[in-house]
Amino acid sequence: MEKHLKKQDPIGLSPVEIQPLHEIVYERLRHALMSGQLEPGRKLTSRKLAKELGTSDMPVRSALLRLQALHALDQLPNGSMVLPAMTRERFDDLMMTRLICEPAATRRAVAALDRGGLLKLRQVAVALTAAAEDQDIDAYLLHNHDFKFGIYTACGSPSLLFLIETLWLQVGPFLRQFSGQFDNDLRGILELDYHDEIVKRLEDRDGEGAAELLARDIREGHAYLMENARFE
Amino acid sequence: MEKHLKKQDPIGLSPVEIQPLHEIVYERLRHALMSGQLEPGRKLTSRKLAKELGTSDMPVRSALLRLQALHALDQLPNGSMVLPAMTRERFDDLMMTRLICEPAATRRAVAALDRGGLLKLRQVAVALTAAAEDQDIDAYLLHNHDFKFGIYTACGSPSLLFLIETLWLQVGPFLRQFSGQFDNDLRGILELDYHDEIVKRLEDRDGEGAAELLARDIREGHAYLMENARFE
DNA sequence: TGGTCCAAAATGTGATCGCAGATTCGTTCC
DNA sequence: GGAACGAATCTGCGATCACATTTTGGACCA
C-alpha cells in the first residue's frame, strides 16, 4: 500500500475510524440491552428503530439478526424480534451455566494475570465497594462487569470468553430491572461482596480458591434474587 | 382463530411448513459447515452464494451475519466473510472449552435420561462402532454428533446446550478435514471408543463416571489430532 | 521477464420498492 | 354495550438499484 508515493502526499494521516452503519447500530442496541434500557417483552421492529436512528431498515435488520443469533432476542412466529422475558426457570438455567463457565475461567486466569492486571482488578474492586455503599446501581453494575471480565479476559481463552459474553448478554438486561425492585437498597447485595477476597486469592496464585469464591458470588447472588426478585 | 367457522371449511388442513428464505439458506450453510463441505480460508461472498442458490443477496447476507455472530465465520477488514483457518492454538482453545462444558452437561444429563433416551443412545453407540469398523467417516461423524447431543439435549439446560452448539459449529467443519488426512484410516480413532462405556455409566446413573469418560474421549481425541493432524 | 498502471469486474453496504400476511382500529349491527 | 366485520396501517421479507471501494486482469513498458 505504502510501497510508492507518486505525487504529493500532503498532510499527516488522520486514521479515520470508519465502520459500517449496521455495526454502529449493533453496538448501540447491545449497549442498550446490557445497560437494561429495554424492558422485557418489548417488541423491536426494524422500521421503527430505523426511523428512531435515522437510517434505513437494513442496518437495523442486520443488528437484530445478530442479536437473535446470540439468543439475546427471541423471534416471534411472524419474525418480529422480542426481548425475552426472564422467568424463574430461565434465570435458574442461566445461573447454572454461569456456574460452569465462570469459575473455570477464573481458575485459568490466575496463571495469566500479571502485576498490572492484578492492580487494575484491585482498583475496580475498591470502586465496586464504594459504589455499593453509595447505592449507585449504575456504577455498581458497570464495575461488577469490569471486574468479572477483567478476570475472564485474562484467562486467555477466546472461546470461553465468548461463551461467557453470550451468557451475560442474556442476563445483563435484567440485573438493573431486579435492582430497581429494591428501592435502590443494595444492602442485601453488599453483604455478599467477595471481590476483595477474590483479588487476594488471585494475588496468592490460588486459582482454586478464587474460583470457589466466585462461584459463591454467583450462587448467593442467584439465591438472593430468586428469593427477593419479581419474575415474569 | 377457530372461534367461528363462517362459510364452508372444506378440506382437512395441510399444515404447510413455511419458513423464510434466509432461514433455509442459514440451515443449508450451517449444514455445509458442519459436514465439512467448505475448506478453511474459503471466502463466502453473498452475491456468488446468492447466484448459486438462486436467490437475491439479502437472505444470504442474513445467514452469513448470523453465522458470523456465532463465530462460525470470520469477517475480513473489508467485510467479506471467511471460514477461519484452524490453527493449533485455536484447536487447543476450543478443546479446552469443550472440556469445561461437555462433561458438565453429561453430569447433569444422568438425572434426566429416561429409558427411551438410554435405549436410543445405545443404538447410536452401536451404529457408531460399526461405522468406525467400516471406515465410514461420514457415518462416524454423524453418529458421533447424534450420540453426544443426545446426552447434551437430555441435560435439560437450553443455555448450556446452546453454548456447546456454538463450540461444535466452530470445530465441526474441521473434523472431516482432519479425518481425510489419514487415508480414511480410522483405526487411531477406534482405539479410543468410550461410547459403550459411557452408556453403561449413564444407565447406572453414574453421572460422574460418564462425565469423566466423556472428558477422556475429548482429551484423547484432542491429543491424537494434535499429534497426527496437519494444521494451517 | 518482471514490474507498473489503468480499466473492468466484483463486492460490501445501504436505500428504496413491492408484496403478502398480520395487526390495529373504527364502524356497524345485533 | 359488546361482538363482528372491514379498511387502513404496520411489519417482515425479499428483490433491485446505486455507490464507493476493493480486487482482478491484462496491457504496456523497461
Q: What is the pLDDT of residues A15-38, one digit of tens each?
A: 556 789 999 999 999 999 998 899
Q: In this structure, how many other beta carbons lie within 10 angstroms of the beta carbon of residue A12?
A: 5
- Longest C-alpha distance within chain B, in Å? 71
> Does the beta-carbon distance from A65 to B70 stay under 8 Å?
no
Q: pLDDT band at residue A101, thresholds of 50, 70 and 90?
A: very high
Mean per-residue pLDDT, A191-207: 91
Contacts of A70 in chain B (CB under 8 A): 69-70
Q: Which residues of chain B have pLDDT under 70?
A: 1-17, 180, 182-191
| Helical (H) or strand (E) element with A44 | strand A43-44
Out of A61, A70, A97, whose CB is closest to B160? A97
Distance CA B1, CA B31 (A): 36
With bands split at pLDDT 50, 70 and 90, how would you rate the model's confidence at A230?
Answer: confident
CA B74: distance to chain centroid? 18
B residues 28-47 closer than 8 Å to A (CB)? none
In B78-194, where does DSSP find H-type helix?
88-109, 115-133, 137-154, 158-180, 187-190
- Between B221 and A11, name the one with better pLDDT: B221
Burial B135-144 (b: 16+ CB within 10 A, else e): bebeebbbbb
Number of Cβ within 10 Å of residue A129's Cβ equals 16
Residue B96 CA to residue A27 CA, distance in Å, equals: 29
Give the position of cell 485459568. A108
Q: Is the pLDDT of residue A176 over 90?
A: no
pLDDT band at residue A232, thresholds of 50, 70 and 90? confident
User: How many Å apart are CA B73 and CA B38, to the nearest integer?
Assistant: 12
Q: Is the pLDDT of residue A148 over 60?
A: yes
DSSP structural state of residue A55 = S
Interface of B with A in 48-107 (CB under 8 A): 61-62, 65-71, 79, 90, 93-94, 96-97, 100-101, 104
Q: Does B160 touch chain A (CB under 8 A)?
A: yes
* B187 CB and strand C closer than 7 A: no
**Degrees, nearest 5: CA angle B5-B11-B17:** 100
pLDDT value at position A47? 96
Q: What is the mean pLDDT of residues A127-137?
A: 87
Quote the mean pLDDT of chain A. 88
Distance CA B205, CA A1 (A): 63
Pairwise CB contact (< 8 Å): A160 & B96? yes
For residues B223, B151, A170, A162, the Cα torsion angle rounded to the nearest 10 degrees is: 10
CA separation for the pair B125, B118 (Å, rounded): 10
CB distance from A111 to chain B under 8 Å?
A: no
Percentage of chain A with pLDDT > 70?
A: 88
For residues B27, B28, B33 and B38, what is the CA-based torsion angle, rounded to 10 degrees? -160
**Residues constituting chain A:** 232
Contacts A96 to B, Cβ<8 Å? 157, 159-160
CA A101 – CA A88 distance, rounded (Å): 20
Cα(A141)–Cα(A176) distance, integer angstroms = 8
Q: Is the CB of A69 under 7 A from strand C?
A: no
Q: Which of B69, B93, B97 minimises the CB distance to A70?
A: B69
* Contact between the CB of A153 and strand D at under 7 Å: no
Crossing angle of the two packed helices A137-154 and A207-228, in degrees rounded to 10: 150
pLDDT at B17: 66
Its pTM stands at 0.91
d(CA A182, CA A201): 31
**Which residues have C-beta within 8 Å of that of residue B194, sequence separation ≥ 6?**
B213, B214, B216, B217
Cell numbers representing residue A225 in the block? 434474587
Q: Do A69 and B71 touch (CB under 8 A)?
A: no
List, in order, residues 6 or more apart from B82 with CB less than 8 Å away: B41, B42, B43, B44, B73, B74, B75, B76
Q: How many CB atoms lie within 10 A of CB B125?
A: 23
Contacts of B23 by beta carbon, 8 Å cutoff, 6+ apart: none
Distances (CA, A) of A132 to A18, A185, A217, B193: 38, 9, 15, 52
Nearest to A94 among B100, B104, B159 (CB): B159
Q: What is the mean predicted confidence (pLDDT) over A84-96?
A: 95
Using the beta-carbon criterion (under 8 Å), do B101 and A96 form an inter-chain contact? no
Query: Residue A153: what residue type?
Result: T
Q: CA B45, C1' D24: Å apart?
A: 15
A160/B97 Cβ within 8 A: yes
B98 and B167 Cβ atoms separated by less than 8 Å:
yes
B198, B214 in Cβ contact below 8 A? yes
Q: Report CB contact under 8 Å: A61, B66.
A: no
Per-residue DSSP letter, A72: S
- CA torsion, points A171, A99, B198, B130, in degrees to nearest 10? 40
